[in-house]
Amino acid sequence: MKAAYYRGYGAAREVFELGELPDPEPGPGEVRVRVRYSGVNPSDCNRRSGSRDRPGYPLIIPHSDGAGEIDQVGSGVAEARIGERVWTWNAQRGRPFGTAAEFVCLPSAQAVPMPEAVDLALGAGFGVPAMTAYFSLFADGPLAGRDVLVTGAAGAVGLYAAQFAHLGGARSLIGTVSGEAKAAIARDAGVPVIVNYRQENVAERVLAATAGRGVDRISEVDFGGNLATILKVMREGTIVGTYASRGEEAPTLPYYPFLFANIVVRFVQCSLILGELRAAAIRDLGRGCAEGRLRHPTPTILPLSQIARAHELVESKSVIGKVMLAL
């Protein structure tokens, strides 16, 4: 099979190799997916650079997100699954071989049927972005009647988070963006209150939109960078679901303001979502897609041969939407 892989850690153009590797065979309880699209996430770039962890495998095919068709099944898996259009999650979590190859084998449950009406390519953006969005909001219960803030509401995660909040019955929904192009994306997805954080006072806009109540839930893309705003818009019992801290990686936590307001800071690692919550996320994502109620991040699709360029685009944060590879 054709595959992109690396044997050491570093810059994308320095470590990526393209070549032929043996076709994998599914083991017991596994399926083999003929990958059509492989999604690139910031976590994939961090692993490749070695900045977060170095699992030590002699050869790594990156990427956990992908979409394609099941073409083989292992023992214990119904042959009826052969031919299914699927999207994958955690394909490269705790294992060396991910979706940046023509084939990937993984546990059957990690290959989820694609909604019929949805373009297969979009499935390569479900595993990390959509699951992270859901986890950041629903890990601590329903949203009905609650006030919700989604930072980075036009991003790959934020766009799903904003829509999940709306579908979940949020009383008010505020999304932050960095410019008019992103505001248009959030507006098109139905976000009612959009704040340009580069030009407006986010805290003032949030308090005005919630009649001074503040927010109950925050889906947070930059915990350190937005901490000052969180302190101004939180209320008693606010839950912050944070999945990144771009502005400041090691912020000083304001212990007593959080303590006296019973604030929960939930650190969101989507690969570790609990089973029942994962099942709910998959169910609600599928339902929203089937009913045509979800808009998806626009994909930028490059060929597998340009995997280094794809990683550079993700690292540069210069692309609005999702970066994918076509195989």
pLDDT band at 19 (very low <50, low <70, confident <90, very high): very high
Q: What is the pLDDT, as a whole number, of residue 259?
A: 97
Q: What is the pLDDT, as a whole number, of residue 50?
A: 87
CATH code where residue 153 lies: 3.90.180.10
Residues 145 and 250 in one domain: yes
Separation between Cα atoms, residue 67 and residue 89, nearest integer Å: 10
Residues 183 and 118 in one domain: no
Residues 123 and 210 in one domain: no
Residue 196 lies in a domain: yes
Residue 100 lies in a domain: yes
SS (H, E, C) 219-267: EECCCCCCHHHHHHHEEEEEEEEECCCCCCCCCCCCHHHHHHCCCEEEE
Residues 65 and 166 in one domain: no
Residues 209 and 316 in one domain: no
Per DSSP, 72 falls in state E
Residues 292 and 251 in one domain: no
Residues 27 and 65 in one domain: yes
pTM: 0.95
Q: What is the pLDDT, as a whole number, of residue 55?
A: 77
Residue 298 lies in a domain: yes
Q: What is the pLDDT, as a whole number, of residue 51?
A: 77
Residue tagged 């546990």 (tokens) = 107
Q: What is the pLDDT, as a whole number, of residue 295?
A: 93
Residues 244 and 263 in one domain: yes
Show the domain range for 260: 140-267
- Sign of the Cα pseudo-torsion (187, 165, 200, 250, in order): negative
Residue 135 lies in a domain: no
Please say if the pLDDT value at position 274 is more than 90. Answer: no
The separation between CA 160 and the C-alpha centre of its own chain, rounded to angstroms, equals 9
- Average pLDDT rounded to a whole number, residues 135-164: 97
Residue 134 lies in a domain: no
Give me the number of domains the chain comprises.
Answer: 2
pLDDT band at 200 (very low <50, low <70, confident <90, very high): very high
Residues 28 and 66 in one domain: yes
155: alpha, beta or left? (left if phi > 0; alpha if psi -120 to 50) = beta
Residue 133 lies in a domain: no
List pLDDT tens digits, range 213-254: 999 999 999 999 999 999 999 999 999 999 999 877 778 889
Residues 144 and 262 in one domain: yes
Residue 54 lies in a domain: yes
Find the angle CA(279)-CA(282)-CA(286) to the nearest 5 degrees: 140
Report the mean per-residue pLDDT for the chain: 96
Q: Is 316 helix (H, G, I), strand (E, B) or coil?
A: helix
Residues 163 and 103 in one domain: no
Q: What is the pLDDT, as a whole number, of residue 293?
A: 93
Q: What is the pLDDT, as a whole number, of residue 267?
A: 95
Q: What is the pLDDT, as a whole number, of residue 213?
A: 97
Residue 35 lies in a domain: yes
Calculate what percentage of the chain has a pLDDT beyond 90: 91
Please say if the pLDDT value at position 52 is more than 80. Answer: no
Please say if the pLDDT value at position 16 is more than 90. Answer: yes
Q: What is the pLDDT, as a whole number, of residue 53?
A: 72
- Average pLDDT rounded to a whole number, residues 190-201: 97
Please say if the pLDDT value at position 271 is more than 80. Answer: yes
Which ranges constitute the DSSP H helices of the chain? 12-15, 42-49, 131-138, 156-167, 180-188, 202-209, 227-233, 255-260, 275-290, 307-316
Other C-beta atoms closer than 10 Å to the C-beta of 117 total: 9
Residues 19 and 38 in one domain: yes
